[in-house]
Chain A
Amino acid sequence: MEDYGKNIIEIPLEKLAIVAGEEKNAGHRLAQACATYVNDKYELLYSFEEDYAMTTYKVVVGLDEEVPSISRIFFPAFTYENEMKELFGVKIKGIVTDYNDKFYRIATETPFLKKKGGK
């Protein structure tokens, strides 16, 4: 079986919605999405799956770059996108169900976003 955990394909931000649309048309399932904060940039991972075959795409974006939501293509993305927005501060626009920072009822704003120059 192919090692799906290691194969992470980097795509530019502009292609995110196109790739998500292609995955939807192919009948694939959104398996997970998550954000990582590395070297003053965000790395966003989106995994799509059919049966046991999984493809993961990585999008690297700047801290102030706007990211289009894929929740109009994959409805369940709204939970992942609200999480990225509230825990990391990723600027995601157009989430179908946007909680406006109320999905996680936590006291700290964007707790996983480090100060500029941090690790």
Chain B
Amino acid sequence: MTDSLNADLRDIWVYLSASPLAGLTMTLVAYQAGLWVFERCGRRPVLNPVLIAVLLLAGVLTLSGIEYRTYFAGAQFVHFLLGPATVALAVPLYNQFQQVRQSARAMIVALLVGSSASALSAVGLAWVFGGSAATLRSMAPKSVTSPIAMGVSEQIGGLPSLTAVFVILTGIIAATFGTWVLNLARVTDWRARGFGMGVAAHGIGTARALQVNEVAGAFAGLGMGLNGLATALLLPTLYRLFW
């Protein structure tokens, strides 16, 4: 009796660990657990929902011996939505177009300065501290949203999946310590605070900005879109010029 139950459970486990259902469900459950902890503990930035979800999932996968590839076969349905979500950024961009046009010049300059500051300091610091060539190349586009960053990484000879990891870590660092560094720099303009988060830390920075202030959120979304565009256009071109 117990033997057949055990055999059944084993069969169920084999089925579930190989079907997309488990990976997909685990991702949604982990995200909502992350959100719950974040809301319950006073929305402290250190308790970033993405960070909590990633740690939870990595822990569960390691303990249960499920390979990342198997997990991703299910989670890819969530991952796929990054494409349509990037297209959907046209909506907040359109909604804020008036306000955007007014500060267009300031934004373009801040975009170009901030975008190159992020990419150059990332590559420079990694180089100074002895990072490998593959790490440097994968590091360069890490400030922009992952579908763009991964595409750029591939074009300049980086490892797209490593870039994706750098992209997420960048977002989590900004969401966690962004408030602190913006206060340190004495920036009080919500447009500027949001724009900085979006340019330097893409969607996770934007998600954080949206949690705090609507204007900051709109400018963050715009900063993320503009830097995605700037990075996609400029980084491969610069790379081809200098290498």
A, B assembled together: no
List residues of chain A with CB under 8 Å of any chain B CB: none
